[in-house]
Structure 1
């Protein structure tokens, strides 16, 4: 399969992913993709870097799910330049999978990144580009946004630019994965009102990005958009014992049904939390955030 065919296949695969009804995908469903009459699974069950037969460059990469409080098998992380890194397969730069990823870099081909959000479930991030290789660190540098493709990895940049690049990386990758993991933990329900419509739900940070809050499930709660906004503005608080509190001034206001039923009647209820203790809100983070709510 030539490079031109490879580009067309990638575009077709990404368009196919755009049409999915469930934002989370698994190996079985990804194995049903067809192109030009042939079935071409988008994920390899055994390998992290997917290169279908007949192609010389990688089509997709994968990061497996890491349960709470466990270390990931590969330490993919954001570099000092704000760009995301993806670790080699093993330590040999000439391993076929690493070569396939290098070919994608040389040919400037878009990739699909399947990031594990639960056991066997993935969030597809695309298009992603390999824009640099750091052999001493056994890793590649990735662009997760079109604008990042024009950055040379590792080059000096001012703090404002670096923070901007990192903010894009977190928004396109880390925060999307964080949202999906939180919604899965809360079975796609608002922790406050039990609303069960994923498109109306957010992952609310207990400790926010500005305070260096980590994008991990114990630092998040699934909330509908009205309760997320109320939480961010300190109209709504959650105590360490998982009790919802509404701002005193708001409790005394008189307005329409949303204020009465959507906020005031939530005062004093107990938060709906995951069955897994490891995924429940961290009490220490809640205590720190609740102090902010009380002070507000």
Structure 2
């Protein structure tokens, strides 16, 4: 191994260890300033830069890629999306194949170098997905294919069918959206339980209104509610229901029970209360999903 290869390997391993620590500390999104507080060989090394492709001077291949944060209603500067093969498409820097950033991406692809991919949760806050690999380049579309899956070492033994490619696309898209579901839901609800307003992140879940296996159970904020663990469990067990008008109901047999303070204050007093809602209309729970889930609660009751 040459000195340059050794530096490349050590830097990437150090970066992943750095992101492991930050991910444990900031499970719902890492501030960019904290991500960039990365020291390698005694030197601070930025991992997130404008416009989004990072190649430190001591490397020849790209180290990280980033999708820019787009405020609601604004047009994204780069249209990163999923291709028919199920892989994320990451746009070149501009349209010049010889641009230094594009050469750095190409070098990472040729070397099969693992990168970190930063996806915005909100302005200046990211989820880190790693390792990811650049596996193909489309010069006509000015983009690279990014593999977010686990199995990146071996090519398929035979060409995939269109159905298999669509399935792979769905799995990859689901993986990315599931990673982003919790931080986006908790940020929309200001890290508070939508029922009791508890504000301790470690005690909160991002609950689905309609479950994963449902046709409309997508991991998107309008299908999510921030709930503390007791209310999440009660919701899943149909002890608590939420009407389409966002009023909470508690099952009649639970209301009639006599027990300790958790039952009284934690469940029974929720009956008739109204959900704490996100400030943004677009993040608020979808009434049609609430209605369908409420009918399930009514049937169970």
TM-score of the superposed pair, with normalisation by structure 2? 0.83
Query: Is 1:125 aligned to residue 129 of structure 2?
Result: yes
Q: How large is the Cα RMSD of the aligned pairs?
A: 2.9
Name the CA distance, whole Å, in 1 between partners of 2:171 and 2:65.
22
**Unaligned stretches of 5+ in structure 2?**
none
Match in the other structure for 1:271: 275
Q: Secondary structure at the match of 1:211?
A: coil
Match in the other structure for 1:39: 44
TM superposition shift of 1:262: 3.2
* CA 1:197–1:145: 2 relative to 1, 3 Å: farther
Query: Is 1:237 aligned to residue 241 of structure 2?
Result: yes
Name the CA distance, whole Å, in 2 between partners of 1:69 and 1:207.
26
TM superposition shift of 1:151: 5.0
Query: Is 1:192 aligned to residue 176 of structure 2?
Result: no
TM superposition shift of 1:58: 0.7
Q: Secondary structure at the match of 2:30?
A: coil
Cα contact 1:207–1:213 (8 A) shared by 2: yes
Name the CA distance, whole Å, in 2 between partners of 1:280 and 1:235.
22
Query: Is 1:285 aligned to residue 289 of structure 2?
Result: yes
Give per-residue Cα distances to partners, 1:174-200, cap 9 Å, x unaligned. 112121111112121111122222223
**Unaligned stretches of 5+ in structure 1?**
none
1:22 corresponds, among 16, 26, 34, to 26
TM superposition shift of 1:160: 7.0
Match in the other structure for 1:115: 119
Which structure: larger Rg?
Answer: 2
- After the TM superposition, which segments of 4 or more aligned residues of structure 1 sit over 6 Å from their partners? none
Give per-residue Cα distances to partners, 1:130-181, cap 9 Å, x unaligned. 12223343332222232245456x942485786467435523x211212111
Name the CA distance, whole Å, in 2 between partners of 1:161 and 1:227.
39
TM superposition shift of 1:258: 4.8
Cα contact 2:177–2:220 (8 A) shared by 1: no
Query: Is 1:182 aligned to residue 188 of structure 2?
Result: no
Is 66-75 or 272-281 further displaced after alignment? 66-75
